[in-house]
Amino acid sequence: MSKKIACTGIKPTGAPHLGNYFGMYKPALELAKEFDTRYFIADYHALNSIKDAKRMKELSYEVAASWLACGLDPDKSILYKQSAVPYTFELNNLLMAFTSKGLMNRAHAYKAMVQANLENSKDPDDGVNMGLFTYPILMAADILQFDSNVVPVGKDQIQHLEMTIDIAQSINYNYQDELLTIPEPITKKETGLIIGLDGRKMSKSYNNTIPLFLPKKKLRKMVMKIITNSQTIEEPKDPDNCNVFTLYKLFATAEQQANLRERYLAGNMGWGHAKQELFEVMDTHIAPMREKYDDLINNKDYIDKVLNEGALKANEIVSAKLEKLRIALGLK
């Protein structure tokens, strides 16, 4: 029996931080053991906001290198750039005819922009391009083109998945045939729960992120900036209410955690020491990936080769799917 299919995309909007790694890259890559996996760089989605060609290109390389450095094996998973599979855009067009405008009006990214415009007494559609408005349709095309069974995403993408399901179901219903596979979102419990320097959710919009591939020295500096309380060295500390310990748990073994917990409770351990412990486990975990990332980002020919091979495979799968759909819809 063939394996089930998992698919996910990441927009090239900046080097990944720890929140992206634990929330997205790591869980998505774990799926490669069990599923046929298709990962892509959602450059067309990013085009809605990135209008600088050089930056677009650089950011796309950064995401590709991140996937590979985090452990994507291009022999087992398909990695490609969304823009390199033109059939996706044909499917996007096909899906448009089955997507009500009202559904798009409810998409949260669009709604949030309209809301912000209204609050600022601007035209409701100020700054809204059609790519942003129809964002969920292209996302549905990304997913449905592969007959994806599961889609690992962050919580903020659940609504888009529900829209994908809606669109697919209306097509299946109209033609009374299972033309499109109904996908299922998977969200990891950790998704969204990775805290940043200030204890809030790690997010670029809070400016509290720890980039995954920071050089070692900079990483240490950053760890030293994590906000703690003002307890003295002597005072016993509460590991269950501490940003440093919360992050420590992501990297440390159970034994390491038990050890540090004891030192917290015993007192006579300053925050600088706790942060040093965190930095060490973090660096042990990240160093091999960082090394790989640095190699890759200086070897764009290799990245191009992986992406080109990925695009070839993706185009082959999706062109067959489109051919079936064209026939089913009476276009052929």
Of 70, 143, 165, 274, which one interacts with ligand TRP (CB under 6 A)? 143
Does 9 contact ligand TRP by CB under 6 A?
Answer: yes
Residue 196 CA, distance from chain mean position: 17
**Single residue of 18, 29, 59, 151 touching ligand TRP by CB under 6 A:** 151
Residue 192 or 270 having the CB closest to ligand TRP = 192
Question: For the CA atoms of the chain, what is the radius of gyration?
Answer: 22
Report which secondary-structure segment, H or E, holds 6: strand 5-10
40 strand-pairing partners: 9, 80
Which of 11, 81, 188, 321 touches ligand TRP (CB under 6 A)? 11
Pattern of binders to ligand TRP over 260-299, x per CB under 6 A?
A: ----------------------------------------
Contact 2, 36 (CB under 8 A): yes
Q: Which is nearer to ligand TRP, 157 or 209 (CB)?
A: 157
Q: What is the number of residues in the chain? A: 332
Among residues 66, 157, 187, 209, the one that binds ligand TRP under rule CB under 6 A: 157
3-class secondary-structure state, position 150: strand
- Beta-sheet strands, E only, within 106-199: 150-152, 184-186
Q: Strands 78-81 and 36-41, how do they pair? A: parallel
- Structure tokens that stand for 261 in this block: 């917990």
Reference 15, options 53, 66, 78; nearest CA is 66
Q: Which helix (H) or strand (E) holds 7?
A: strand 5-10
Using CA atoms, how far apart are residues 322 and 315, in angstroms rounded to an integer? Answer: 10
State yes or no: residue 252 binds ligand TRP (CB under 6 A): no
**Contact flags string 178-217 toward ligand TRP, x per CB under 6 A:** ----------------------------------------
Task: Work out whether 5 is an interface residue with ligand TRP (CB under 6 A).
Answer: no
Which one of 36, 43, 62, 142 is in contact with ligand TRP (CB under 6 A)?
A: 142
- Binding status of residue 139 toward ligand TRP by CB under 6 A: yes
Closest CA to 90 of 330, 318, 327: 318
Q: Closest separation between CB of residue 152 and ligand TRP, Å?
A: 8
Q: Please tell me whether residue 314 binds ligand TRP under the rule CB under 6 A.
A: no
**In 10 A of CB 88, how many CB atoms?**
23
Of residues 223 and 322, the one with the C-beta less far from ligand TRP: 322
CB of 9 to ligand TRP, least distance (A): 3
Smallest gap from Cβ 126 to ligand TRP, in A, equals: 22
Q: Binding string, 30-59, against ligand TRP, x = CB under 6 A?
A: ------------x--x--------------
Task: Give the span between the Cα atoms of 165 and 182, in whole angstroms.
Answer: 6
- Residues in touch with ligand TRP (CB under 6 A): 7-9, 11, 42, 45, 139, 142-143, 151, 153, 157
